[in-house]
Structure 1
Amino acid sequence: MKKTFLLNSELSYCISKLGHKDSLVIGDAGLPVAEGVQRIDLAVSEGIPSFMQVLEAVLAEQKVEKIFLAEEMRTASKDLHQEVLNLCSQNQVGLEVEYLPHEDFKQQTESCKCAVRTGEFTPYANVILVSGVVF
């Protein structure tokens, strides 16, 4: 049995296949997933699991050099926005943050290797994580 923090085998496998500059998106319950992007659906019900719980688990396993967030998150979900920045900066040194209009953000998800759906109902609770290297 796996003993690291992230126990979901499908998600762990997706992260293990990521190379430098590959990305995955963690989204709320309503984020559309483009055809051809692997969907990992963790949503059980409203708020379960939360966006932040999934982000924390993924950051325990993935080296991230950059994140993309929707510009709208800064005003529509201020508290969550700050939580994301705090958690990401604690786990990743030298992290770059880029903001996109939500429509452009959704377009950017089309190039992600996988999309993780959470039970989150908070507006714009979505992040694209771009893989770094561990050396």
Structure 2
Amino acid sequence: MKRHGILNRHLAGALAELGHGDGVLVCDAGMPVPAGPRVVDLAFVAGVPSFAEVLSGLLAELVVEGATAAGEVREANPAAAALLADLPELRFVTHTELKELSAGARLVVRTGEARPYANVLLRCGVFF
């Protein structure tokens, strides 16, 4: 058994398969999940696990070189916007554009987050 880090076997395995440039959509419970990408659905009940908890766990394990979020998050969900502020090369698009971009993700991680626009598309980097 793993000692620390992400313990969910489906998520840990999916993360191990990611490569440079792959996209990982971390999304709230209301985000439409596109057909195509592998999905690890962590949602249990409204708010559990939170976007903050899942994003923090993923950032501890992934090398991220860029991120894309919906600009609407800044006004509608300042708490989620604050979580995104330190992501590298963060760019904002409309929520509609983010939904379109998410179809190209390699992995979707759905949280139980119940606040609006708590979604981000991470672009994987390399550790060297």
Please report the TM-score for the alignment, with normalisation by the length of structure 2. 0.95
* TM superposition outliers: structure 1 runs of 4+ over 3 Å: none
Equivalent residue, structure 2, for 1:92: none
Q: Does 1:113 align with 2:111?
A: no
Instruction: Report how many residues are paired.
Output: 128
Q: Does 1:51 align with 2:51?
A: yes
| Counterpart Cα distance in 1 of 2:65 and 2:4 | 21
Deviation at 1:79, TM superposition (A): 2.3
| Counterpart Cα distance in 1 of 2:7 and 2:85 | 24
* Structure 1 segment 1-135 matched on structure 2, within 5 A: 1-86=1-86, 88=87, 95-135=88-128
- Structure 2, unmatched stretches of 5+, are none
Contact 1:6 1:60 in 2 (8 A): no
Please report the TM-score for the alignment, with normalisation by the length of structure 1. 0.90
Query: Is the helix fraction higher in 1 or 2?
Result: 1
Amino acid at match of 1:115: V
Secondary structure of the structure 2 residue equivalent to 1:111: coil
Secondary structure of the structure 1 residue equivalent to 2:127: coil
Q: Alpha-carbon deviations, 1:17-50, whole Å to 9, x = none?
A: 1111101101000111111111111100011100
Contact 1:52 1:84 in 2 (8 A): no
Aligned-residue sequence identity (percent) comes to: 39
Q: Alpha-carbon deviations, 1:86-105, whole Å to 9, x = none?
A: 4x4xxxxxx11111100000
| Counterpart Cα distance in 1 of 2:79 and 2:19 | 31
| Counterpart Cα distance in 2 of 1:101 and 1:84 | 15
